[in-house]
Structure 1
Amino acid sequence: MKNRKIVITGGPGTGKSSIIHNLEDKGEKCLHEISRQVTLEAQKEGIDQLFLEQPLLFSEKLLQGRLNQFKEAEQLKGNHIFIDRGLPDVVAYMDYFGTNYPELFEDTCKQNQYDLIFILPPWKEIYTSDNERYESYEEALKISSYLYSTYRRYGYTPIEVPKSSVEERTNFILDKI
C-alpha cells in the first residue's frame, strides 16, 4: 500500500509549523516547509531576499524542493506522511504576486497529486511576522484566498481546520484521516 501524502497548508502565520511539530511529537512522519531553507541558502550566496529579488528563481527552487519532498514521501514507510505546504502553494504565491511562470509549474502540480489537503484559515490572534515572514496580516488574508482557489483549481477539496489550540487542531486532522 502506498503512503497517503497529506498536505497542511494555509497563509502565513496560521499555525502550520506548530501542528507539524505536534504531529511529529505524536510519532507521525512529517516533511517540513522548505522556503526558509531556500531563503537561507540564497543568503549564504549573498542574495538577501531571493523571493523579492528573483521571484521566479526562488519559485523554481521551491517547486523542485517540494517535488523532491513529494518523491521522498512515496519512499517513506508508513500509512501517511504529513507535508508542510505542497506544490500548488508555489503557484498560488506566484499568482498572488502576479509573477509569470512556465507551463512546467502547472504540469508539475497536475502530475503529482496529493491524497488529502488540510488548510488553516487566517487567524489574526496568532499571526506574527519575522525576518522570513514579512507579509502583513492583510496580505496573509489575500494569500490564503489564493491558496484555497489554487488547490480547488487542481481538483482538491481542502478541509478547513478550525481555529483552536494546537492540540485540538492536530486531533481534528488525525480524526479526519
Structure 2
Amino acid sequence: MGHHQLVLLTGCSGGGKSTLLAELAARGHRVVEEPGRRIVAEELASGGSALPWIDMVAFARRALEMARQDHTAAADLEGWTFFDRGLVDAAVGLEHLTGTPAVESLASDRYHQRVFMAPPWPGIYRTDSERRHGMDEAVAEYERLLVACPALGYEVIHLPRVSVTERADFVLASLAAATR
C-alpha cells in the first residue's frame, strides 16, 4: 500500500480542512490532526517557545519532525488516512523561513498523487488561541503551497466551497476515480 493511501489536505488556513477531517473521521476513515495545532497545544501547556509567534523556525522544524512521525506511523495501514497538513506544509514553511529547499526536507516521503487544496474562504475564517495570524498571512501561505505542490510532483485538486458533506463526497469520489 505505502504512500498511495496517505492523503494530504492542505491549503489556506481557515479554509475548512479541520471540519472536513472531522466529517471523514465520522465516516470511519483514519485522520491525522494538523501538526501545528498539536505543537501549539503542547508548547502552551509546557511553557515552551517553539511557537509560530515566538520562534517560527523552531516551530517549522518541530512540525516537520511530527509530520514525518505521522507519515511513518500510517504508511503500512490499510485504507485511506487523511492528513490535515503534513510534511509538504512543514517543508514549504521551512523553505520560506530558511531557504532550505522543500524537496531536501521531504526526502522520499510521499502522499497520494492527488493533494486536496482548501482555497481561501474569508466567510468562515476565524482566529483562535492556536491560530493567531490574519487572513493576509494565510493567503500568502496558500499561494506558496499552490506553487510548491505541483513542483513536488503532486496533482492539486481544489476543494469546492460547498457544505462539508459535499466536500467529503467530492474527496472520496476524486480518490476513487484516481485509483480506477
Distance 1:49 1:64, change over 3 A: closer
Aligned to 1:11: 12
1:135 to 2:133 alignment: yes
Matching of residues 89-128 of structure 1 within 5 Å: 89-95=89-95, 98-100=96-98, 102=100, 106-115=103-112, 116-128=114-126
Give the Cα–Cα distance (whole angstroms) in 2 for the partners of residues 172 and 45 of structure 1. 39
- Does the CA-based 8 Å contact 1:110-1:154 persist in structure 2? no
Shift in Å at residue 55 of structure 1?
A: 1.6
Aligned residues: 173
Query: Structure 1's 44 and 122: CA in aligned 2 closer, same or farther, altered over 3 A?
Result: same
Matches within 5 A, 1:40-51: 40-47=41-48, 50-51=51-52
How far does residue 58 in structure 1 lie from its aligned partner after superposition?
A: 1.0
Identity of aligned residues (%): 28
Which secondary structure does the structure 2 equivalent of 1:117 belong to?
A: strand
1:24 and 1:147 mapped to 2: Cα distance? 25
8 Å Cα contact 1:10/1:144 also seen in 2:
yes
Shift of 1:111: 1.3
Q: Which structure 2 segments of 5+ residues have no match?
A: 176-180
Letter in 2 for 1:13: G
Residue 71 of structure 2 corresponds to residue 70 of structure 1: yes
Partner of residue 83, structure 1: 83
Amino acid at match of 1:82: F
Match of 1:39 in 2: 40
Tell me how far apart the structure 2 counterparts of residues 147 and 77 of structure 1 sit (CA, whole Å): 28
Q: 1:63-102, CA deviations, whole angstroms, 9 ceiling, x for partnerless residues?
A: 0100011111113232x2111112110133344xx41155
What CA RMSD, in Å, does the superposition of the two structures yield over aligned residues?
A: 1.9
2:31 is aligned with what amino acid? C
Mapped contact 1:30–1:82 kept (Cα < 8 A): yes
Write the mapping of 1:157-172 to structure 2, written as runs, cut at 5 A.
157-172=155-170
1:116-148 per-residue CA deviation (whole Å, 9 max, x = no partner) reads 310110011111111111122222222111111
Cα deviations across residues 4-40 of structure 1 (Å, max 9, x unaligned)? 1110111110000000000010111111112121112
Relative to the length of structure 1, the TM-score reads: 0.89
In structure 1, stretches of 5+ residues that fail to align are none
**TM-score, normalising length from structure 2?**
0.87
Extract structure 1 runs of 4+ deviating beyond 4 A: none
Q: 1:101 to 1:40 in 2, by over 3 A?
A: farther
